[in-house]
Amino acid sequence: MTRMPNSLAARDIAYHLHPYTDAAKHEADGPLILTSGKGIHVFDENGKSYVEGLSGLWCVSLGFGEERLVEAAAKQMRKLPYYHTFAHKTSDVTVELAERLIKMAPVPMSHAFFCNSGSEANDTVVKMVWYYSNALGRPNKKKIISRIKGYHGVTVASASLTGLPNNHRDFDLPIANIMHTECPHHYRFGKPGESEEDFATRMAESLEAMIQREGPDTVAAFIAEPVMGAGGVIVPPKTYFEKIQPILRKHDILFIADEVICGFGRTGNMFGTETYKLQPDIITVAKQLSSAYLPISAVMINKKVYDVIRDNSGKIGTFGHGYTYSGHPVSAAVAIETLKIYEERNLLAQIRDVAPVFQKELRRFADHPLVGECRGVGLVGAIEMVKNKKTKESFDPKQAVGAHCIGRAQEHGLIVRTLGDSVAFCPPLIITKDQVVDMFARFEKALEETAAHVKANGLQAA
Ligand SMILES: Cc1ncc(COP(=O)(O)O)c(C=O)c1O
- pLDDT tens per residue across span 276-322: 999 999 999 999 999 999 999 999 999 999 999 999 999 999 999 99
User: In this structure, are strands 49-52 and 111-115 parallel, antiparallel, or unpaired?
Assistant: unpaired
* Residue identifier of the C-alpha nearest atom 8 of ligand 1: 118
Summarize pLDDT for 321-355 with one digit per residue, the tens.
999 999 999 999 999 999 999 999 999 999 999 99
Residue 390 confidence (pLDDT):
95
Element at 122 (helix H, strand E): helix 118-135
| Angstrom distance (rounded) from CA 66 to CA 73 | 11
pTM for this predicted structure = 0.98
Question: Ligand 1: residues whose CB is within 6 Å?
Answer: 57-58, 117-119, 122, 151-153, 225, 229-230, 258, 260-261, 286
Round the average pLDDT of the chain to a whole number and report it: 97
| Angstrom distance (rounded) from CA 157 to CA 160 | 5
Q: Are 241 and 278 in contact (CB under 8 A)?
A: yes
User: In this structure, are strands 297-301 and 282-285 parallel, antiparallel, or unpaired?
Assistant: antiparallel
Handedness of CA 440, 426, 238, 160 (dihedral sign): positive
Distance 311 CA to ligand 1 centre (A): 30
Statement: residue 450 has pLDDT above 70: yes
User: In this structure, are strands 111-115 and 297-301 parallel, antiparallel, or unpaired?
Assistant: antiparallel
b/e code 183-214 from CB counts within 10 Å (16+ = b)? bbbbbebbeeeeebebbbbbbbeebbebbeee
Which ligand 1 atom is nearest residue 154's CA? 11
Radius of gyration of the chain (CA): 22
Bridge partners of 222, per DSSP, are 145, 255
Residue of 264, 195, 250 lying closest to 222 (CA atoms): 250
Distance 223 CA to ligand 1 centre (A): 13
pLDDT above 70 as % of the chain: 99
Most distant CA pair in the chain, distance: 69
Summarize pLDDT for 364-406 with one digit per residue, the tens.
999 999 999 999 999 999 999 999 999 999 999 999 999 999 9
Distance 204 CA to ligand 1 centre (A): 25
Residue of 163, 158, 142 lying closest to 218 (CA atoms): 142
Bridge partners of 190, per DSSP, are none
Statement: residue 246 has pLDDT above 60: yes
Summarize pLDDT for 272-287 with one digit per residue, the tens.
999 999 999 999 999 9
* Amino acid, single-letter form, for residue 409: A
Q: Are 255 and 302 in contact (CB under 8 A)?
A: no
Distance 153 CA to ligand 1 centre (A): 5
- Tell me how crowded residue 32 is: count the other CB atoms within 10 A of its CB: 13
C-alpha separations of 157 from 127, 130, 227 in Å: 9, 12, 21
Residue 461 confidence (pLDDT):
67
Distance 461 CA to ligand 1 centre (A): 36
